[in-house]
Amino acid sequence: MSAVLITGVGRRRGIGAAIARRLADDGWSLALGYHADYDQRVMHEPSDVELLADELRATGSTVTLVPGDLSDPAVPATVVEQAHRRLGVLDALVMSHCESVDSDYFSTTVDSFDRHYAVNVRAPWLLTRAFAEKAAPDGGVVLALTSDHVAFNLPYGVTKGALDRLVIAGATELADRHIRCNVINPGPIDTGWMDDETRATLGGMTPGGKLGGPETTANLVAWLLSEQGSWINGQRLFSDGGFNPTRV
């Protein structure tokens, strides 16, 4: 049975949770990484990942929880080690975690910028390195979620740009370990942060007038982790329904 570590799985209506459900349906064993403080501090909701774990275990899935604050440079390798010890050799790493706090050139603080960098860039580097060090001889897959949003979400957007380069570099640097690396841009997905006006505005920027849900990203992740998606490597993939901010 294949095993995967998914980060950023704090809330049941998030993208990480949708990925966990989809991969559970495909028979994957799951290690779910999360940081409850982020969900409360930024999303203003308590983490309910324990309920998600119970939901998935009730279907027969193997699920283990690996909490940790990825802004601490010691934590990423520890999270991978815990997942590896509990599930065995990991076949995939799916990074859906982030730090995302709205701010611009003048309202961004140094502490906030540094935390965005630590969580969105340094942690993925350390997670991927730890994953690669423990990979099976036949390799594995690394996926990360990214975004094009920059203005007024400045440190988030800047660090997501760095994340793209980091993960795509892995396709070449980790090729001798048979590890494929791709980045997914899901476009705007409502995981609890949109109001009616935001949904209508963003929907109007998408052909067909509607937005994707967490499951649309989960479906692409499942395909990329399958044999059918094994030729895709070193790519930044758009799964956003044709979203275009300039569309009127």
- pLDDT class of 248 with cuts at 50, 70, 90: very low
- pLDDT class of 133 with cuts at 50, 70, 90: very high
Residue 83 Rama label (left phi>0; alpha psi -120 to 50; beta) = alpha
33: how many CB neighbours lie within 10 A of its CB?
30
Single-letter amino acid, residue 166? L
Using DSSP, state whether 69 is helix, strand or coil: coil
- In the block, residue with structure tokens 């998408």: 206
> Taking Cα atoms as reference points, which of 221, 191, 156 lies closest to residue 11?
191
CATH architecture of structural domain 3-238: 3-Layer(aba) Sandwich (3.40)
pLDDT digits (tens, 9 = 90+) for 30-81: 999 999 998 889 878 889 999 999 999 999 999 999 999 999 999 999 999 9
Please report the pLDDT score of residue 45 as a whole number: 85
Single-letter amino acid, residue 70? L
3-state secondary structure 165-219: HHHHHHHHHCHHHCEEEEEEECCCCCCCCCCHHHHHHHHCCCCCCCCCCHHHHHH
Say yes or no to pLDDT of 183 above 70: yes
Query: What does the pLDDT average to over 176-182?
Result: 98
Query: What does the pLDDT average to over 9-24?
Result: 95
Whole-prediction pTM: 0.94
- What is the Cα–Cα distance from 49 to 134, expressed in whole angstroms? 26
